[in-house]
Amino acid sequence: MTETEIKELLIDEDTFLTCGVHIGTKQKSKDMEPYVHKVREDGLRILNVNLTSEKIVEAANFLKEHEPKDVLVVSARQYGWKPAKKFANTCGFHCIAGRFTPGRLTNPEMRHFIEPKIIILTDPAADAQAFREAINIKIPVIAMCDSNNLTNNVDLIIPGNNKGRRSLALIYWLLSREILRIRGELGTDEDLEETIDDFEAPLI
């Protein structure tokens, strides 16, 4: 890789590493092979944080094409509830944290029926119901994918540890900051008022 191809990380590498964004699982799907940097001695897959950073920027640019009211963020995984809600509140998106009731996207008779034009999943495996419904209604899917995730029908993959508290907090915080910067609501070198700690879920 030449120097011109190396893009600057959204935040220093140490922060990515101390938040554990790079720590994958011992399982690896063929889909996620391109995002795995190496295999640790203990068998854990190590994800490439350069690609995490790039994909967050790509996702933010993709989302700017959509009205905030048309974007839905989903997290069935408990450590994703708080960062997903914070992200949605910061950017003006809808959020469903916790159990995803079947039919929310496909049954207009349902009380809380919603018609998003794009969906963001914290984990395509844990958020399988929302994922299926998004495919059914043919809307783009952005998903945070760990080394063991299957990525068929995911339109934009953000590689990263989608199980850790700190990792999810950082990914959602960076995505929030990047979206606000692209919208011009934050300066290019400006940070969010809320910190990564503010996005982090409490210990279960």
User: Which of 111, 134, 50, 120 has its CA nearest to residue 90?
Assistant: 120
Kindly state the average pLDDT of the residues 44-48.
Answer: 89
Query: Is residue 141 in some structural domain?
Result: yes
Query: Is residue 193 in some structural domain?
Result: yes
Kindly state the average pLDDT of the residues 169-180.
Answer: 96
Bridge partners (DSSP) listed for residue 157: 143
Query: Is residue 204 in some structural domain?
Result: no
CA distances from 29 to 35, 36, 127, 147, 202 (A): 10, 10, 17, 6, 30
Percent residues over pLDDT 70 in the chain = 97
Kindly state the average pLDDT of the residues 163-177.
Answer: 95
Kindly state the average pLDDT of the residues 153-157.
Answer: 96
Domain range for 119 is 6-199
Please check the confidence at residue 2 and state whether its pLDDT lies above 70. no
Query: Is residue 36 in some structural domain?
Result: yes
pTM, two decimals, is 0.92
Query: Is residue 147 in some structural domain?
Result: yes
Query: Is residue 102 in some structural domain?
Result: yes
Give the CATH number for residue 191.
3.40.50.10490
Query: Is residue 1 in some structural domain?
Result: no
Question: What is residue 31's predicted lDDT score, i.e. its pLDDT?
Answer: 85
Question: What is residue 13's predicted lDDT score, i.e. its pLDDT?
Answer: 87
Confidence bin at 107 (pLDDT 50/70/90):
very high
Please check the confidence at residue 132 and state whether its pLDDT lies above 60. yes
Please check the confidence at residue 204 and state whether its pLDDT lies above 90. no
Question: What is residue 37's predicted lDDT score, i.e. its pLDDT?
Answer: 87
Percent residues over pLDDT 90 in the chain = 75
Question: What is residue 97's predicted lDDT score, i.e. its pLDDT?
Answer: 96
Structural domain total, the chain: 1
Kindly state the average pLDDT of the residues 119-141.
Answer: 97
Residues 6+ apart with CB under 8 A from 24: 32, 36, 44, 45, 46, 47, 146, 147, 148, 161
Round the average pLDDT of the chain to a whole number and report it.
92
Judged by average pLDDT, the poorest of 27-31, 35-39, 140-144 is 27-31
Kindly state the average pLDDT of the residues 64-70.
Answer: 94
Question: What is residue 3's predicted lDDT score, i.e. its pLDDT?
Answer: 39
Please check the confidence at residue 4 and state whether its pLDDT lies above 60. no
CB 25 within 8 A of CB 40: no
